Structure 1
Amino acid sequence: MLDTMRGIAVLGILLMNITGFGLPYAYDNPTVWGANSATDLAVWRVMALFFEGTMRGLFTLLFGTSALLFLQRHAARANDLRPADLYFRRTLWLIVFGLVNGYVLLWSGDVLFYYGFAGLVLFVFRDLSPQRLLILAAVFMFFQTAISAGEWLDFHETQALAQAANERRAAGEPLADGDQEAIDAYAALQAEFQPARENLEAYVANVRDSYASAFAVLRGDTWFMQSVFFFRHGIVECFGMMLLGMALLKWGVLTGASSNRTYLAMIVIGYAIGLIVNAAEVRELEGGGFSAEAMMNALLTYDLGRIPMTLGHLGLIAIICRTPWLANAARAFAAVGQMALTNYLTQSLLCLFIFTGAGLAWYGQLARHELYYVVAAIWAIQLIWSPLWLRHFRYGPAEWLWRSLTYWRLQPMRGMERRPQAALLRTDR
């Protein structure tokens, strides 16, 4: 069940990431680039209603689960510091994978860097009861919303000062101290949500020209996401979802130990709340013409929509895993999930080749809906190659490397069925 969830999450996260891979600054605002038809806008609506933030949420939740499972497995084998040593080594190497994904594969939206840093702190919560973990998760989620509310207040304060200054200027009155600064600050905020077309065209040209020119512009985005945005939003969001994952694991929700009634309740309640909130956000954004003000207003309820939707998805996946006639599909997703790190990095590698000057240079060339043809192709590749690979090998390539770096020695790679029983007993020690 955990592998199936992880497989669906790693495939699903590409639904949202693909706009970052293929379009300039159009993730939140479809009018910036790549939305020239009713089909493009309809695709944006579907993603905003059902998937925005949820696959990332599911992926993050499952990372908290795997961190706890790793610690529990090794703590059962040793009473010394070795479990902690292995855990921190494993987590620090994940940060390195995140840096490679961001600066070599040029994916500024990488989450591995986030998970690595958050995972270092996650260690201290490993022995808490599920009730306490849930309370802490709720605190972090509330704090995340409070941060968004603070940004909303700052935006409206800047907006009000700029409007007052512009009114004085229009009336022929001299500008007061700070008026020009307020006007400039508000213009900069608006430019973040709706960049100038000439700037976007220059950005697209650089990404398409060569790997070196793409690196020159994308490294700035990666730096921002792994520094300013990480400390402003990413770290708090990670803690909330990871702690929730640890609580759900201890309650048995993520291992299939809960009843069908529990999973059905997660579906009904999660989707009811999530869809109502998300639909309101869609109306706000479209009604406001995707203006900076509309975007800030929608962010106020962002977590109130995406977290229930994430839990609804989780309940649905659990029901799928329990449905006999969907067993083959569940197994295919589980194979993808067993190679989640490899498949996540492979998505970045394939999109690097497809969209940047390192390959086909399709960046900014496809309409929003056309990006999902690329998604379907990558899904097909990963759903086919993951089971085939695991027939012959025990781990995905990236999982094998991560494991070897964690234990600081080469790990056995061949499939379990080809290895002698004595080798099985030595594994993971």
Structure 2
Amino acid sequence: MTVRVDVPVAPARLLNVDALRGFALFGILAVNVWAFADPYYASPESNPTFDSGLDHAIRFAISLLFETKFYLLFSFLFGYSFTLQMAAAERAGTAFMPRMLRRQTGLLAIGLVHGAALYYGEILSTYAILGLILLACRRIAPRRAVQLGIGLVITVGVVWMLLGLATLAEGGAAATAASDAAVKLTAFGGDAAATLGFHSGHLPETVAAIVALQAPSAMAMFFFGFAAGRVQVFANPDRFRPLMRRILIFGFPVGLLGALVYALAAAYAPGGGVETFAFGLGQLTAPLLTASYVVAGLMLFRTDPGRRVEAALAPMGKTALTNYLFQSLVLGVLFTGYGFGLVDRLSPPAVAAVVPLIFATQLVLSRWWLRGHRYGPAEWALRAITIAGIPPWRRHGD
């Protein structure tokens, strides 16, 4: 089959893309909340304050269903939206390259400010850099993009698994991070200046860690999303039902099995070769579980109840950048020196309960905001940079 490589003419706005982006924000919030609430999160040390069976079960569920899956979903949607940006530039009759370079520069600036002030673990700056690679590859065929994505996934997974085996062979383990947890607890439990110092001071090393741990997989998902956008999967999902069925039948159980191995290692063998090996296995299988989430969402949105879910999530996705930043702001106010300083003071069940409360509030606020505005505040700023002009701020009867 011959695949055309010209820019597809897609609808200006796809509700299912926005809805999936809103869903991705839920998963990202469910993971990021622990980086604020638990100083021992991602540490080989167990939290001595909350160590009950229920506490461990909740952390295990987060590792199983959310960790390493939802940033992949967001990355996939970034790649898909890249093709929508291509189509938007074509409709506007403007050159795509300078437009996208401005957009990535703006995203990098927003990401660095976000990381230095609100959340040192932010990923926007990484997306900004990886987007330049996608920009350079924008003329490749969908099949080639899929091949590159698969190659990256396999390479990353195998490298981490071999690193885990090497660590086991040497009998080594990761150094304790108890001191890091103590520093974080002191900073988040202190004043705003202490919190700001922690975020800004840890940003460089965290960006480096994200590049090593997440960037290759995110780039793979960029390629997968780009390929899906070029053949307009979301514009006409019914054309791809056989493929979607195979993803659910094969991808979901394999992805869930890999997630189970990773979650068990993170819970019961943290910080050493076993967890490193399991992380590599998870990198191999997480894209399959993420793909299953996408397919399940698309199939749900084709049903009558699902259309209501889609309509509820879409405003959140339309203002995804604003909502991502807003999540960090709210979590900062709740758990750090910017506000109440509740770090290590809420039990895991209470922390988990915070997630739907914040998300529900965002759903309501997003719908309310879009009644009077075309874009979220952060989206407006990024669009202004992208088009090198002043976009409309409010709606005017449209």
Deviations 1:171-217 (A, max 9, x none): xxxxxxxxxxxxxxx5xx532xx423x65334302221111112223
How far apart, CA to CA, are the structure 2 residues paired with 1:150 and 1:39? 33
Aligned to 1:264: 245
* Cα distance change on mapping 1:111 and 1:400 into 2, 3 Å: same
Aligned to 2:185: 204
Residues 1:326 and 2:303 are matched in the alignment: no
Aligned to 1:423: none
> Sequence identity, in percent?
25
Deviations 1:311-359 (A, max 9, x none): 0000011011101122222111011000000000000111111111110
Q: Give matches, 1:180-259, under 5 Å.
A: 186=172, 190-191=174-175, 194-196=176-178, 200-226=181-207, 228-257=208-237, 258-259=239-240
Aligned counterpart for 2:100 among listed residues 83, 87, 101: 87
RMSD across aligned C-alpha pairs, in angstroms?
A: 2.1
Residues 1:118 and 2:130 are matched in the alignment: yes
Q: Give matches, 1:18-417, under 5 Å.
A: 18-27=33-42, 31-32=46-47, 35-78=50-93, 82-105=95-118, 107-156=119-168, 159-160=170-171, 186=172, 190-191=174-175, 194-196=176-178, 200-226=181-207, 228-257=208-237, 258-286=239-267, 288-415=268-395
How far apart, CA to CA, are the structure 2 residues paired with 1:44 and 1:370? 12
Q: Unaligned stretches of 5+ in structure 2?
A: 1-15
How far apart, CA to CA, are the structure 2 residues paired with 1:256 and 1:29? 45
* Cα distance change on mapping 1:418 and 1:33 into 2, 3 Å: farther
How far apart, CA to CA, are the structure 1 residues paired with 2:103 and 2:134? 13
How far apart, CA to CA, are the structure 2 residues paired with 1:199 and 1:86? 41
- Residue 122 of structure 1: SS of its match in structure 2? helix
Deviations 1:221-272 (A, max 9, x none): 321121x224423332221110010112223323343344433332232211
> Which piece of structure 1 moves more, 355-364 or 401-410?
401-410
How far apart, CA to CA, are the structure 2 residues paired with 1:232 and 1:199? 20
How far is the alpha carbon of 1:144 from its aligned partner? 1.5
Aligned to 2:5: none
How far is the alpha carbon of 1:300 from its aligned partner? 2.5
> Which piece of structure 1 moves more, 365-374 or 393-402?
365-374
Q: Would the aligned equivalents of 1:114 and 1:234 in 2 still touch at CA under 8 Å? A: no
> Which piece of structure 1 moves more, 83-92 or 250-259?
250-259
> Which piece of structure 1 moves more, 26-35 or 398-407?
26-35
Q: Would the aligned equivalents of 1:24 and 1:33 in 2 still touch at CA under 8 Å? A: no
Aligned to 2:11: none
Scaled by the length of structure 2, what TM-score is found? 0.89
Q: Unaligned stretches of 5+ in structure 1?
A: 161-185, 420-429
Deviations 1:62-98 (A, max 9, x none): 11111221023213543x7x22111100011100111
Q: Which has the larger radius of gyration?
A: 1
Residues 1:17 and 2:64 are matched in the alignment: no
- Please tell me the residue identity of whatever aligns with 1:99: L
Deviations 1:118-177 (A, max 9, x none): 0011112222211111001111112222431353255345x34xxxxxxxxxxxxxxxxx
Q: Would the aligned equivalents of 1:91 and 1:117 in 2 still touch at CA under 8 Å? A: yes
How far apart, CA to CA, are the structure 2 residues paired with 1:199 and 1:74? 46
Q: Would the aligned equivalents of 2:33 and 2:355 in 1 still touch at CA under 8 Å? A: yes
